[in-house]
Amino acid sequence: MNANTLRSRAPLTLVSAVNNELEATLELQREAYLAHPNPSYNERRADLRQLQAFIRDKREALVQAVNADYGSRSRHETLFTEIFPVVDGVDHVLKHLKKWMEPQSRDVDKRNFLGASNRVIPQPLGVVGAIVPWNFPINLSFTGLIYTFAAGNRAMVKMSENSRHLARLLIDEIPAYFPPDKLAFFDETGGVGIEFSKLKFDHLLFTGSGQTGRAVMAAAARNLCPVTLELGGKSPAILCEDYPVHKAAERLLFVKLLNAGQICTTVDHLYLPEGKTAEFVAAAKQIVAERYPSITSPDYTAIIDERAFKRLTSALEEAKAAGAKLIKLTPGKKWDAATRKIAPHLVINAPADSILRTREIFGPILPIIEYSSLEEPIAAINQGPRPLALYPFSNDKYTIQMLIERVMSGGVSVNDALMHVGQHDLPFGGVGESGMGHYHGYEGFVTFSKMRPVFYQAPFSAIKFLWPPYGKFASTYLEFLTR
């Protein structure tokens, strides 16, 4: 066998080994589910507390692993956006879980089913798969697990190729907290995601790009596996005439520069009333300079990898070459390839067909688009794919309600951005090309449960009078029912 043959077969051998491990783990979890299909309230509570214990016990190691994957990730951002939501999210679910698990009574048609009763009983689906992106890998893996375990399921989680340090930590340490028939993590070593999405899960949760989401959904469809897709898109902010510009800038720029803009629900672009751009630019320069004296600040996060860094810098250069005005908001260099940090930028007059206007930015760049009437941003947003989030800024409740009614999006934060995602009792999800399905809150419990309808017949059934052969009584009764 020559070297070329070996090289050609090596990838197939690797994929085969990966697939065997995935299939074996799924079979292990399936058998465990069938042996014990409905964990008790106390068992689910213990699983949730164990998730919380892992996050608390390994807090520093988790922070360091994510920092290593990014090259430079703000410690405070990791604690605030990844560690806290999981710890707090477990506490929220534990307060509500007993009620969520209770069977629900439903009405019965007493004309035909006198004495019978109806219930909806939440039951575990079985084994849930999750494919997790790199931008908030702790939050997005463990938040899904909170609702997966609350619903009584088992879970397999596939991490991103950009989360190598974190994946290694999870693979090494989780077995001390959960057996593999309950929870297993997998690294992306090449081809894992493809094979993972082909598995016959009882539900599949994917968070990532629309392009990959389509491929995941197509693979899951072969098994008729239901999917929850949390995608992205160009989530707009609309600053209305009556809202203070400086106040809006403070809130918008906090969200836009959090994780250096690498958030699926961040503000992608901003619509400003005509004549307000100069005021917003002045406020932005002051605010950002105070928060990030330079891009070397440890509070300012790096771009995840070289590919993303080049994509963002090329988009800035393309916009500039096409006549856009780039406004750098921190002193010093505009970007640094060695550290993969890009200075926060505002972009004025980016052409409508430029990358910054047509593709999700996912970086610390905020295009500004002026409008003369609110009809302009409404029409522009509605002509494109439905965004994952909408951020209207106004103190007029009628204007806010009008924008909520006329512009569809996955979620809304009014007079702020992103904050709806941090509400434990609000469902989170997209619409159209920004995703489908929900998790978080009670809706998360429902997503990972089979809300099973059960009809209990009475000792005496009036339906017997409608058994064939149909006589005069059946004809008279049906005539009455359908009149």
φ, ψ for residue 342, nearest 5 deg: -120, 130
Question: Tell me: the pLDDT tens digits for 161-182?
Answer: 999 999 999 999 999 999 999 9
Structure tokens at 55: 């996050």
Nearest in space to 369 (alpha carbons), one of 236, 216, 203: 236
Mean pLDDT to the nearest integer, 127-153: 98
Angle 379-430-135 (CA atoms, 0-180°, nearest 5)? 110
pLDDT category at 465 given cuts 50, 70, 90 is: confident
- Asked if residue 178 lies in contact with residue 55, where contact means CB atoms within 8 angstroms, the answer is no
Identify the pLDDT of residue 111: 83
Identify the pLDDT of residue 32: 98
φ, ψ for residue 325, nearest 5 deg: -100, 120
Collapsed DSSP state (helix, strand, coil) of residue 272: strand
Averaged pLDDT score across all residues of the chain: 95
Catalytic residue among 195, 264, 360, 433: 264
Nearest in space to 167 (alpha carbons), one of 51, 68, 89, 95: 68
Nearest in space to 82 (alpha carbons), one of 61, 99, 97: 61
Active-site residue flag, 230: yes
- Asked if residue 294 lies in contact with residue 331, where contact means CB atoms within 8 angstroms, the answer is yes
Question: Tell me: the pLDDT tens digits for 20-52?
Answer: 899 999 999 999 999 999 999 999 999 999 999
Do β-strands 117-124 and 449-456 pair in parallel, antiparallel, or remain unpaired?
Answer: antiparallel
- Asked if residue 298 lies in contact with residue 72, where contact means CB atoms within 8 angstroms, the answer is yes
pLDDT category at 7 given cuts 50, 70, 90 is: very low
Identify the pLDDT of residue 2: 36
Identify the pLDDT of residue 197: 95
What are the C-alpha distances in Å from 355 to residues 267, 319, 335, 385?
16, 8, 19, 16
Give the C-alpha separation, 391 to 237, whole Å: 4
| Cβ neighbourhood burial of 351 (10 Å; 0-12, 13-18, 19+) | middle
Structure tokens at 45: 């509570």
Q: What percent of the chain lies above the pLDDT cut of 70?
A: 97
- The H helix count followed by the E strand count for the chain is 18, 18
Nearest in space to 391 (alpha carbons), one of 225, 256, 204, 206: 256
Active-site residue flag, 225: no
Of 5-9, 188-192, 304-308, give the range with the top mean pLDDT. Answer: 304-308
Catalytic residue among 82, 188, 230, 433: 230
Side chain identity at residue 49, one-letter code: R
Give the C-alpha separation, 308 to 402, whole Å: 37
Look at the block and give the residue holding tokens 């439905």: 386
For 361-394, the three-class secondary structure string (H helix, E strand, C coil) is: CCCCEEEEEEECCCHHHHHHHHHCCCCCEEEEEC
φ, ψ for residue 464, nearest 5 deg: -60, -25
Mean pLDDT to the nearest integer, 380-387: 96
Side chain identity at residue 306, one-letter code: E
Structure tokens at 126: 């079985």
Does pLDDT of 8 surpass 50? no
Identify the pLDDT of residue 327: 98
Nearest in space to 117 (alpha carbons), one of 457, 481, 390: 457
| DSSP 8-state code for residue 103 | P
Question: Tell me: the pLDDT tens digits for 205-253?
Answer: 999 999 999 999 999 999 999 999 999 999 999 999 999 999 999 999 9
